[in-house]
Amino acid sequence: MQDPFKGFNDDDDDQNNQNGDGPQGLPLPPNYATVVNPETGNMRIAKVGFSWTMFFFSPLPSIFRADWYNFLCIVGVEFGSFMLLSMTTSASQFVAIINYAFTLFFGLVWGSLYNLMYFKHLFNRGFRPADERSRDLLTRTHYWSQPKE
């Protein structure tokens, strides 16, 4: 059995800390990336891949991350779609069925795209991958491409 406390104070990267260092030396899950803004020193850690929280609780994760740009985009698209739906249909039972279908559809869309949208917005604001592991993960998943000098 491995010692759960071994590796937190060691300088070498042993089996307990293979995924890179998060804040205060804690290990990160393999599908999380760290980005930092070199000008301000702000650091953000977020998951790469499908966002289950966005699937179930859309658009609350964008509020919790203070990602107001993507929050307004998501609310605008959903509000516009539901307004268009309500203008084109009249039978209330049919509207309820279509409403559930739209909710599932938007859950899948935002769950698939939100983390990508979040990282792209951070990169536009000047954030860069904080370490080599995050850079490799973001490049491999096509979230990050090397800026052209």
What is the predicted pLDDT for the residue at 72? Answer: 96
Task: Give me the chain's average pLDDT, please.
Answer: 83
Q: How far apart are CA 52 and CA 114, in angstroms?
A: 10
Checking if the pLDDT of 84 tops 70, the result is yes
Taking Cα atoms as reference points, which of 136, 117, 139, 102 lies closest to residue 50?
117
Reported as a single tens digit per residue, the pLDDT across 109-124 is 999 999 999 999 999 9
Q: Indicate the domain borders of the chain.
A: 35-137
